[in-house]
């Protein structure tokens, strides 16, 4: 396959004792024996990842594979998706729920992709994006002319300390080889009492228990962290955040997504 994977310790507690949940194409999904964090046991460098495992390619591959194995379930989930509000609007609504529009301020978006969310957020905030993919960073810069787009991995981006009111992390922490470092970077970048709003796949969902290794949240090796409400809250606390009461929206096992907001104390 061309990559040379390294063994990865638990991204939450740094432990190395773990149990194997399943293996696919030589990738091991494991559960930490100390803290129950579920994660990908191998790690590949960012550069290799960009060359060989572009996010979009792996999405198409997984979609095709699931379509063959579970045509009915996929058809149902495809239909439900059309009933949901446009995703960018939902991300903005969740953000404004924890940081009212009237307060305004500076927003930093980790993993801003092609800038669809930044474009909406720019109506209320001065916006900055961090994006690892050069192609997507270029699209974001073109889409949101007033935005500053930093082209780097989150954990290597040069960010001003204490400069932001809100850090958004939508569908990004599950991709980070060092998610705790990413949360610490968010913590440093935030002003006191600033907030972060996150969305990740929910490893505690019923759908995951039913679909097992064929669950839509498993994308190997793109998704290397698999959070439950408990492990996400624990990692946020380790980074110095306090999860906000009532912010575990969609935490119920019926949802494949997990939302959480936390404050820098
Ligand atoms: Zn652990």
| Residue range 4-38, pLDDT digits in tens | 667 899 999 999 999 999 999 889 999 999 999 99
pLDDT-derived band at 75, boundaries 50, 70, 90: very low
**Taking residues 79-100, what's their average pLDDT?**
72
Neighbours of ion ligand 1 (CB under 5 A): 10, 12-13, 15, 32, 34-35, 37
28-62 in b/e form (b: 16+ CB < 10 A) is bbbbbeebbbbbbbbbbeeeebeeebebeebeeeb
pLDDT tens digits for 167-221?
999 999 999 999 999 999 999 999 999 999 999 999 888 778 787 788 878 888 8
Which positions ≥6 away from 210 have C-beta within 8 Å? none
Residue 177 Cα, ligand 1 centroid: separation in angstroms? 14
In this predicted structure, which of 59-68, 99-108, 117-126, 238-247 has the lowest mean pLDDT? 59-68
Cβ proximity of 169 and 107 under 8 Å? no
> Distance (Å, rounded) from C-alpha 101 to C-alpha 95?
9
Residue 5 Cα, ligand 1 centroid: separation in angstroms? 20
Residue 31 Cα, ligand 1 centroid: separation in angstroms? 8
pLDDT at 67: 54
Residue in the structure block whose two tokens are 């999860």: 243
The pTM for the full model equals: 0.84
Cα angle 203, 221, 20 (rounded to 5 degrees) comes to: 60
pLDDT-derived band at 60, boundaries 50, 70, 90: low
Cα angle 235, 17, 186 (rounded to 5 degrees) comes to: 20
pLDDT at 196: 98
pLDDT of residue 250 exceeding 70: no
pLDDT-derived band at 66, boundaries 50, 70, 90: low
Residue 37 Cα, ligand 1 centroid: separation in angstroms? 5
- Edge-to-edge, what's the strand order for the sheet holding 164-170? 148-151, 126-131, 106-110, 164-170, 190-201, 257-264, 241-243
pLDDT-derived band at 251, boundaries 50, 70, 90: low
pLDDT at 177: 92
Cβ proximity of 223 and 167 under 8 Å? no
Q: Per the structure block, which two tokens stand in for 259? A: 């939302």
> Distance (Å, rounded) from C-alpha 190 to C-alpha 264?
7
Cβ proximity of 264 and 243 under 8 Å? no
> Distance (Å, rounded) from C-alpha 77 to C-alpha 207?
11
Cβ proximity of 104 and 124 under 8 Å? yes
First CA to last CA across the chain, in angstroms?
Answer: 45
Cβ proximity of 186 and 180 under 8 Å? no
pLDDT of residue 82 exceeding 50: no
In this predicted structure, which of 31-45, 46-60, 99-113, 221-235 has the lowest mean pLDDT? 46-60
pLDDT tens digits for 109-163?
999 999 999 999 999 999 999 999 999 999 999 999 999 999 999 999 999 999 9
> Distance (Å, rounded) from C-alpha 187 to C-alpha 67?
40
pLDDT at 73: 47
**φ, ψ for residue 10, nearest 5 deg:** -60, 125
């Amino acid at each position: 396959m061309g990559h040379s994977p390294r063994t990865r310790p638990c991204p939450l507690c740094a432990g190395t004792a773990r149990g194997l949940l399943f293996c696919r194409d030589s990738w091991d999904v494991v559960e930490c024996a100390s803290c129950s964090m579920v994660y990908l046991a191998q790690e590949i460098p960012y550069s290799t990842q960009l060359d060989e495992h572009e996010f979009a390619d792996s999405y198409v591959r997984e979609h095709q594979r699931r379509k063959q194995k579970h045509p009915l379930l996929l058809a149902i989930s495809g239909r439900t998706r059309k009933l949901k509000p446009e995703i960018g609007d939902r991300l903005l609504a969740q953000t404004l729920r924890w940081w009212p529009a009237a307060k305004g301020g500076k927003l930093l978006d980790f993993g801003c992709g092609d800038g669809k969310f930044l474009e909406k957020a720019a109506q209320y905030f001065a916006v900055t994006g961090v994006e690892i993919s050069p192609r997507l960073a270029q699209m974001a810069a073109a889409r949101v002319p007033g935005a500053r787009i930093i082209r780097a991995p989150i954990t290597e981006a040069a960010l001003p300390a204490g400069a932001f009111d809100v850090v958004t992390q939508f569908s990004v922490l599950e991709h980070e080889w060092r998610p705790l470092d990413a949360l610490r970077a968010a913590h440093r970048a935030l002003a006191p009492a600033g907030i972060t709003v996150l969305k990740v796949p929910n490893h505690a969902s019923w759908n995951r228990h039913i679909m097992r290794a064929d669950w839509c949240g498993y994308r190997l090796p793109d998704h290397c962290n698999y959070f439950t409400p408990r492990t996400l809250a624990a990692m946020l606390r380790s980074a110095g955040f306090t999860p906000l009461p009532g912010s575990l929206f969609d935490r119920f096992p019926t949802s494949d997504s997990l939302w959480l907001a936390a404050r820098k104390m």
